[in-house]
């Protein structure tokens, strides 16, 4: 049985170093005491008990212009520590190419990568931080945050002691540490702890791998290390690392008891921390998948409040996952494998206390009140009042006119010619679409099979006419039967919906993480016949077209007579007198109500995907992206299934909309 610390007086429990606006100690105190450590019962910050009241907030999901706003609101809810994942794929999109400031080739796929600046702002706002660098982070991100180029290294095996993976991981962690090392609490910064891997016990038992990660992190950081695993026997035993504090996530009642029952190694024991207490959950695309909104369930909200009391009332620590989720801008979402693909939506609202647009919610105030019972209301540690929500902006109807058919852009590209289809990764491509084109030489008839399985969504065209969709988001994807004659052109447009970052135990396999390949893998067959000879076009959609590439007559004919994807373009002006300097006053939610499925760019920035099936029906458009004072703003939409649409309309709403509708491709 665990010996719980008796409840301390509030002046001791939340001593000044835990809540002061700057957690740096005086020189005398720094010389006398370790900056951050722990005993069997308590974390200790400069020698004083420190209860972590934390929340997860990942800077790479948030416009950098809003970092301070989100951190101020975290402090005002009663948090004293921010937990942050770091996404390797955004920091090192190509081997050895480090992008640390959100600029360069990947700027339309990410927010900002300047993790050090985010940590500095957190400290300025009186918050400490905990680093969760992976290399695997899950987080509903594409391939759990791994860069896609890892899949192109022969012999690579991720999340293992495989030498190729260890070498790549060490390079990443060393480079990240170079940016963050001076921000450790031991050097006057806000960084308290670093996590080793992420819930590894749910995946494997290669303890040589996790020990080597421990040693890499020890070589780079002076602060304590910890692991975070599910609160059951097999996950804790799979994830434990000697000399590293073992912690849990999920239900704190079951998890805390399990930690002390199943972790017996003294060097892994210490104070209790629920490193991921789930506020609600992420959303996945699908007509039958409603939005997760925990605050709408009074019983669930009461459970959150009771759990906070259970943890904090015993002087234990907690981190809310998520406090603020942010957005999967661009193509950064991952997917869960359930023997079918369940891709996460563009929004990472997560039903969190601070919503996707950074506005406080009913949950925010309920949790703030619950935390307030354990935090002083006066003096150094007072919880400040949160700023009022800035009203969201509305943008009237924007007419989007056809710009160019996606297939009309192929003339600018060089096809890869291959006997058999090649995967997206073999094309040195990470995200977006791949088009496979085959000229039929002999009559063939039967069901179409696009490789070993659909990866992920295959739109089928014959002679420019859409014939069906094979979609791996269904346990039983639709069958498309074809009758092809010599001279016909078969086109398969394949969309990467997001690489798997996790899997349900019901799927009965862990191999999904080791199979990140997109496009078509294997032979394409119609009936029993293998189709050989393909022209393959890489369509990463790193940026939309910048100007009309074909005549108006050609574009109109293509749009009306064909069901092939079309880029639409429109412009709008923001009527602003320039008196407001707060870009949040221009925040809005963009809708394309006539669209079926596609991608939206605003002023060159990829907001992400939309899909009529829901649950997400509007895309968060941060005001930081807009040009005020009646300047021109550009919207470009790639509608994948226009079906003769001559124009589209978009508008910005002050209300975010969640809804589900039938899938027109699966009536």
Residues 14-29: tens digit of each pLDDT: 333 343 334 444 433 3
**β-strand 457-462 against 465-471: which pairing, if any?**
antiparallel
Q: What is the DSSP letter of 141?
A: B
Q: How far is CA 481 from the centre of its chain?
A: 36
Cα–Cα distance measured from residue 551 to residue 10, given in angstroms and rounded to the nearest whole number: 73
Please confirm whether the linkage preceding 449 is cis (ω < 30° from 0). no
Token pair of 588 as six digits: 């809005």
Report the alpha-carbon distance of residue 613 to residue 287 in Å, rounded.
5
What is the third-level CATH fold of 10-324+365-381? TIM Barrel (3.20.20)
Under DSSP, the state recorded for 373 is T
Closest C-alpha among 489, 583, 3 to residue 271? 3
Q: What is the CATH number of domain 406-539?
A: 2.60.120.260
Q: Give the model's confidence band at 33: pLDDT under 50 very low, under 70 low, under 90 confident, else very high.
A: low
E strands in 183-244: 191-195, 225-230
Q: How many CB atoms lie within 10 A of CB 415?
A: 14
CA angle, residues 470, 472, 476, in degrees to nearest 5 = 80
pTM over 0.95: no
| Neighbour order of strands in the sheet with 43-45 | 36-38, 43-45, 48-49
Which regions of 50-137 does DSSP assign to beta strands (E)?
Answer: 53-56, 81-85, 128-132
Mean local confidence (pLDDT), 578-593: 88
Rounded to the nearest angstrom, the gap between the alpha carbon of residue 107 and the centroid of all alpha carbons in its chain is 15
Concatenated DSSP letters of 374-385: TS-SSGGGPPPP
Average pLDDT over the chain reads 90
Instruction: Say if residues 31 and 93 touch (Cβ distance below 8 Å).
Output: no
Q: Which pLDDT score, from 0 to 100, does residue 12 have?
A: 34
Which residues, other chains included, contact 423 with Cβ-Cβ below 8 Å and sequence gap of 6+? Answer: 455, 517, 518, 519, 520, 521
Domain map (residue ranges) of the chain: 10-324+365-381, 395-403+547-653, 406-539
pLDDT of residue 581: 77
Q: Distances from the Cα of 423 to the Cαs of 43, 327, 433, 604, 627, in angstroms? A: 49, 28, 11, 27, 39
In which band, very low, low, confident or very high, does the pLDDT at 13 lie, cut at 50, 70 and 90?
A: very low
Class at the top of the CATH hierarchy for domain 395-403+547-653: mainly beta
Question: Taking a C-beta distance cutoff of 8 angstroms, is the pair 282, 346 a contact?
Answer: no
Q: For residue 501, give every residue at least 6 positions away whose Cβ sits within 8 Å of its Cβ, in sequence order, or none.
A: 138, 139, 140, 141, 142, 143, 144, 145, 334, 335, 336, 513
Instruction: Quote the CA–CA distance of 558 and 360 in Å, as a whole number.
Output: 46
Among 362-366, 517-521, 561-565, 616-620, which stretch is predicted with the lowest mean pLDDT?
561-565
- Domains 395-403+547-653 and 406-539 agree in fold: yes
> Please, which residues have CB within 8 angstroms of residue 518's CB and are 6 or more apart in sequence?
423, 424, 425, 434, 455, 456, 494, 496, 499
Whether 503 and 525 have beta carbons less than 8 Å apart is answered as: no
Looking at the DSSP assignment, which residues form a beta bridge with residue 610?
A: 598
**Burial environment of residue 461 by CB neighbours within 10 A (0 to 12, 13 to 18, 19 or more):** buried
List all residues 6 or more positions away from 13 whose beta carbon is below 8 Å from its beta carbon. 7, 49, 51, 315, 374
Residue 272 contacts by C-beta under 8 Å, 6 or more apart in sequence? 2, 247, 248, 252, 256, 259, 260, 311, 316, 317
Residue 202 DSSP symbol: G
pLDDT above 80 for 294: no
Could you give the CA distance from residue 91 to residue 166 in angstroms, rounded to a whole number?
A: 17
Residue 194, helix vs strand vs coil? strand
Give which of 334, 338, 666 is closest to 518, Cα–Cα: 334
Check residue 562 and give its pLDDT: 67
Q: How sure is the predictor about 100, in pLDDT bands with cuts at 50, 70 and 90?
A: confident
Q: Which residues, including other chains, have CB under 8 Å from residue 197's CB and lie 6 or more apart?
A: 134, 135, 136, 159, 209, 210, 213, 227, 239
Q: What residues are paired with 56 via a beta bridge?
A: 83
- Cβ-contact 630, 573 below 8 angstroms: yes
HEC string of 304-336 equals HHHHHHHHHCCCCEEEEECCECCECCCCCECEE
Predicted pLDDT at 560: 39
Evaluate if residue 103 carries a pLDDT over 70: no
Nearest to 134 by CA among 496, 425, 501: 501
Mean pLDDT of 308-313: 97
Tokens of 650: 């978009």
The answer on pLDDT for 452 being more than 80 is: yes
**Which of these ranges, 464-468, 500-504, 558-562, has the smallest mean pLDDT?**
558-562
Q: What share of the chain is helix, strand, coil (3-state, %, to 5)?
A: 25, 25, 45
Q: What is the pLDDT of residues 378-418, one digit of tens each?
A: 444 679 999 999 999 999 999 999 999 999 999 888 999 99
List of E strands, 386-456? 395-405, 416-418, 433-439, 444-450
What band does 106 get if pLDDT is binned at 50, 70 and 90? very low
The pLDDT assigned to 506 comes to 62
Q: Which helix H or strand E contains 483, and what residues bound it?
A: strand 481-484
Q: Pick from 250, 252, 248: which is nearest to 237 by CA? A: 248
Contact 172, 91 (CB under 8 A): yes
- Band (pLDDT 50/70/90 cuts) for residue 230 is very high
Q: Which stretch of DSSP H or E encloses residue 72?
A: helix 67-76
Residue recorded with tokens 């959150």: 304
Tally Cβ neighbours within 10 Å of residue 95: 12
Q: What is the Cα gyration radius of the chain?
A: 26
- The gap from C-alpha 594 to its chain's centroid, in whole angstroms, comes to 27
Average pLDDT over residues 349-368: 96
Q: Which two tokens stand for residue 666?
A: 């699966």
Residue numbers annotated as active site: 199, 276
- The residue to which tokens 């359930």 are assigned: 338
């Amino acid at each position: 049985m665990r010996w719980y610390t008796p409840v301390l007086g509030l002046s001791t429990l939340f001593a000044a170093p835990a809540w002061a606006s700057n957690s740096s100690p005086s020189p005398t105190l720094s010389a006398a005491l370790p900056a951050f450590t722990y005993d069997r019962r308590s974390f200790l910050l400069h020698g004083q008990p420190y209860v972590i009241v934390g929340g997860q907030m990942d800077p790479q999901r948030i416009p950098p212009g809003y970092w301070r706003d989100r951190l101020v609101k975290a402090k005002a809810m009663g948090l004293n520590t921010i937990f942050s994942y770091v996404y390797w794929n955004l920091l090192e999109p190509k081997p050895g190419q480090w992008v640390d400031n959100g600029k360069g080739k990947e700027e339309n796929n990410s927010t900002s990568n300047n993790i050090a600046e985010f940590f500095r702002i957190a400290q300025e706002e009186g918050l400490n931080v905990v680093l969760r660098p992976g290399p695997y982070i899950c987080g509903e991100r594409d391939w759990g945050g791994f860069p896609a180029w890892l899949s192109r290294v022969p012999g690579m095996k991720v999340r293992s002691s495989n030498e190729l993976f260890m070498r790549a991981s060490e390079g990443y962690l060393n480079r990240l540490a170079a940016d963050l090392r001076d921000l450790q609490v031991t050097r006057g910064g806000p960084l308290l702890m670093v996590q080793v891997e992420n819930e590894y016990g749910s995946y494997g038992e290669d303890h040589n791998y996790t020990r080597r990660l421990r040693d890499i992190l020890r070589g780079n950081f002076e602060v304590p290390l910890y692991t975070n695993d599910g609160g059951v026997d097999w996950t804790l035993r799979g994830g434990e690392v000697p000399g590293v504090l073992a912690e849990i996530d999920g239900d704190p009642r079951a998890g805390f008891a399990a930690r002390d029952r199943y972790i017996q190694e003294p060097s892994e024991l210490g104070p209790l921390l629920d490193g991921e207490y789930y506020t609600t959950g992420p959303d996945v695309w699908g007509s039958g998948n409603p939005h997760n909104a925990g605050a709408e369930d009074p019983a669930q909200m009461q459970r959150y409040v009771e759990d906070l009391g259970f943890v904090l009332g015993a002087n234990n620590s907690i981190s809310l996952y998520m406090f603020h989720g942010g957005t999967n801008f661009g193509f950064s979402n991952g997917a869960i494998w359930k023997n079918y693909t369940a891709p996460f939506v563009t929004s990472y609202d997560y039903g969190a206390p601070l919503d996707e647009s950074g506005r406080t919610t009913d949950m925010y105030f309920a949790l703030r009140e619950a935390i307030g019972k354990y935090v002083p209301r006066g003096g150094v540690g007072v919880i400040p009042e949160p700023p009022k929500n800035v009203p969201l902006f509305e943008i009237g109807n924007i007419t989007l006119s056809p710009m160019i058919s996606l297939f009309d852009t192929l003339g600018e590209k060089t096809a890869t010619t291959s006997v058999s289809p090649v995967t997206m990764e073999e094309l040195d491509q990470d995200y977006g679409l791949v088009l496979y084109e085959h000229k039929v030489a002999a009559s063939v008839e039967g069901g179409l099979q696009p490789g070993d399985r659909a990866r992920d969504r295959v739109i089928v065209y014959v002679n420019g006419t859409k014939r069906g969709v094979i979609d791996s988001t269904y346990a039983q994807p639709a069958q498309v039967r074809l009758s092809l004659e010599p001279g016909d052109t078969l086109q398969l447009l394949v969309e990467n919906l997001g690489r798997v970052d996790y899997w349900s135990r019901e799927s009965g396999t862990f191999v999904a993480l080791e199979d990140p390949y997109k496009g078509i893998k294997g032979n394409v067959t119609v009936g029993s016949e293998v189709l050989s000879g393909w022209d393959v076009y890489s369509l990463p959609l790193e940026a939309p077209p910048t100007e009309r590439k074909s005549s108006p007559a050609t574009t109109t004919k293509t749009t009306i007579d064909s069901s092939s994807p079309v880029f639409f373009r429109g412009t709008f002006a923001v009527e602003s007198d320039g008196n407001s300097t707060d870009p949040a006053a221009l925040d809005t939610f963009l809708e394309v109500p006539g669209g079926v499925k596609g991608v939206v760019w605003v002023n060159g920035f990829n907001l992400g995907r939309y899909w009529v099936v829901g649950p997400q029906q509007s895309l968060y458009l941060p005001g930081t992206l807009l040009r005020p004072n009646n300047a021109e703003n550009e919207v470009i939409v790639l509608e994948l299934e226009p079906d003769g649409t001559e124009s589209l309309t978009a508008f910005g709403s002050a209300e975010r909309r969640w809804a589900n509708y039938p899938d027109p491709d699966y009536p």
